[in-house]
Amino acid sequence: MRKKAKEATGPYLLELQLLRDRVPSFDQYPYSLPAIRNLDRLPFHPKVTFLVGENGAGKSTLLEALASSVGLNPEGGSRNFTFATRASHSDLDGCLRVAKTMSMARDSYFLRAESFYNVATEIERLDKEPTFDPPLIDSYGGRSLHEQSHGESFFALFRHRFRGSGLYLMDEPEAALSPKQQVEFLSVLHDHCKKGGQFVIATHSPIIMAYPDARIYVLSEDGIREVPYQKTEHYLVTRGFLANPQGMLRTLLAEDGPAEGGE
């Protein structure tokens, strides 16, 4: 009796390398960003890799380049999405080498929070075209993403479209999620990881980056470095604020002089 072929599981990505000899100029954006300029090799965790840091540090730029390098639309979606509303991504992908394992991802997807509306619109457009295939929206729960709140549409993607045994890149998935939903997201993330999913996630959320089986990279003026969760600024600032919100607010909102109109 023939044995059933074993389903491929992750990891799928090993590391990312900047090919410095291909960089046109380190004085040119995005290569001038410290995180990119100092990049050599970036090993990926077999389950979850987080990219964190301040706005403008290069998280989204690096994630978009990674998406392009593995054949995904830099505006978001799966390999079947080829739409482009505005060419805003850099040419960084041409200077990257992505080392992969022998496992082939059965699924892949790039969630870019700021352009997910465009993905939802593209799904509706494609579903209006004649085809013998099931409607694309069935893979997202069967309900129009435009007829749901932003948070609901994100969870429709997480719960229904992601299938495990896949590679998933996510840029700020917390953008539309309440704190409660971010906690629920951790459970969904864990389920997909157990099914062989590998994730690379750019985030500001101290809740999401608390996922234990992960590697956290901070992008900063000093380049890119790996840090434990409890040493991230996101964790420290949030913990300090929640431990003494009134004291921190008094410090932040203190006035140096008399109130306007006073003596």
Kindly report, residue by residue over 204-239, the tens digit of the pLDDT.
Answer: 999 999 999 899 999 999 999 999 999 999 999 999
| Mean pLDDT of all residues in 60-78 | 89
Pick the more confident residue, 127 or 3.
127
For residues 164-169, average pLDDT? 89
Gap between the Cα atoms of 158 and 180, Å rounded: 15
The H-or-E segment that residue 182 falls in is helix 179-194
* Superfamily (CATH H level) for 14-236: P-loop containing nucleotide triphosphate hydrolases (3.40.50.300)
pLDDT tens column, 141-150: 878 778 878 7
pTM here is 0.86
pLDDT at 90: 73
Tell me the two tokens of residue 217. Answer: 């990279």
What angle do the packed helices 245-253 and 233-243 form, to 10 degrees?
A: 100
Question: Is 110 strand, coil or helix?
Answer: strand
Q: What is the pLDDT of residue 168?
A: 94
Of residues 144 and 1, more confidence is placed in 144
Question: Quick check: 80 pLDDT over 60?
Answer: yes
**What is the structure's pLDDT at 260?**
52
* pLDDT of amino acid 86: 52
